[in-house]
Amino acid sequence: MQPFDLKTPKSLDEAIAELPAERSYTAPQILAGGQDILTVMKDDIAAPEALVEIGGLGLSGIEMSDGGDLRIGATTTIQEIADHAGIQASFPAIAEAAKSIASPQIRSQATLGGNLHQKPRCPYYRHSAVNCIKKGGSVCLAEFGFNKYAAILGGGPSYFSHPSDMAVALIAMGASVEIQGPSGTRTEKLGDYYVGPEVSVETETKLKANEVATRITVPAPAKGSVSTYYKFKERASYDFALSAAGIHLLVEGGTIKYASVVLGGVAPKPWHSPEAEKALVGQPMKAETWTAAGEAAVADAAPLDMNGYKVHLVKGVLFRALESLA
């Protein structure tokens, strides 16, 4: 890790003023929980000349409005989200996603904003001696190399799998992200916030270099709706998803009236699956429906040499998640 300065601004405006207009290998970056940026620096993906600490700028906290909307500050820890009784009761998918992340020690430090913006975990990208396409190279080495953990949906020209659990659950619940920068505040639907490598191979979101994501807002779920987050990991604890699903349903009289399905661990961004949703809406909550949803979700999958198992895994994850909601 290269030496760096630690900036401790007194306000968010001061913090934003410390950030550059353009990204670069040495450009200052935000520090909150530090669980991702420090690994990025250790892996020599970036060597920022300064880290701008925002942990004490009032960007944490969980609020639920009288109408049931949920607001979570960007520096709220993952453990706080997992433990929040209101989230557990009204937004179980979000609480389950938080609980699935890493270890208790990491969850107590890691922040929501950090989880949503963490960099890919591809072993080529994380290797300091490898110049892959995301670091300025000409090819994605995972396409023809070790690709056990790579994407089967939406891949190319880079094939990494997006690592965020929280993003999958939040998108399934219709969340939005509030962003502040030199030009003021703007809001993006979280489902439109992430960009695939076909749009930008260097970045994963629409966040500009001199902007800070400050808050996530989730609309109140419809009365009678249900949600869940189901994740399959290679190890029982402290691991990223090989496949995951965030699901939000409205079921009336045993028939699915509304469905939101987002997949994790299988694409370079949280993968919204309208195909699975179409297979669910109007159908009864039974095994044949869940099987059809899984088949639809992977109809366009393009697995690489070592990750064909993910096609079957997506089907199983969706079946188990929907079964748990029945």
Cβ 262 vs Cβ 187: under 8 Å: no
**What are the tens digits of pLDDT across the range 179-208?**
999 999 999 999 999 999 999 999 999 999
**What are the tens digits of pLDDT across the range 78-90?**
999 999 999 999 9
* Across 270-294, average pLDDT: 98
> What's the chain's average pLDDT?
97
**What pLDDT was estimated at residue 3?**
95
* Across 97-123, average pLDDT: 97
* Across 100-111, average pLDDT: 96
pLDDT surpasses 90 at 238: no
In the chain, the percentage of residues whose pLDDT exceeds 90 is 98
**What are the tens digits of pLDDT across the range 114-132?**
999 999 999 999 999 999 9
**What are the tens digits of pLDDT across the range 29-45?**
999 999 999 999 999 99
pLDDT surpasses 90 at 26: yes
In what order do the strands lie in the sheet containing 5-7? 5-7, 50-53, 29-31
190: enclosing H helix or E strand = helix 190-193
**What pLDDT was estimated at residue 131?**
95
CA pair distance 269, 263, nearest whole angstrom: 9
| Angle ∠(54,57,63) on CA atoms, nearest 5 | 110
Domains and CATH numbers, the chain: 225-325 (3.30.390.50)
* Across 209-229, average pLDDT: 97
